[in-house]
Amino acid sequence: MLDSSGRLTGLICGTQPMNDIWSPRATLQRMLDVEAALARAFAERRGRDRSDLQG
């Protein structure tokens, strides 16, 4: 199922631009972007929850 590089996406995406989008580095960066967004949302909500308790 995997290509010779060990990447599943080589079987799905046939063009270089698509392979660039789904490269391991790009995929990891998007995962980190999601984690950062979740952390910001959590911190924002936690700050609101604390202000609700105080006021």
**What is the pTM assigned to this prediction?**
0.62
| Longest pairwise C-alpha distance within the chain | 60
15-54 core/surface letters (b: 16 or more CB in 10 A; e: else)? eeeeeeebeeeeeeeeeeeeeeeeeeeeeeeeeeeeeeee
The 10s digit of each residue's pLDDT in 1-54 is 455 666 665 556 578 888 888 888 999 999 999 999 999 999 999 988 877 767
The length of the chain in residues reads 55
CA–CA distance, 36 with 28 (Å, rounded to integer) = 12
Domain coordinates of the chain in residue numbers?
Answer: 23-55
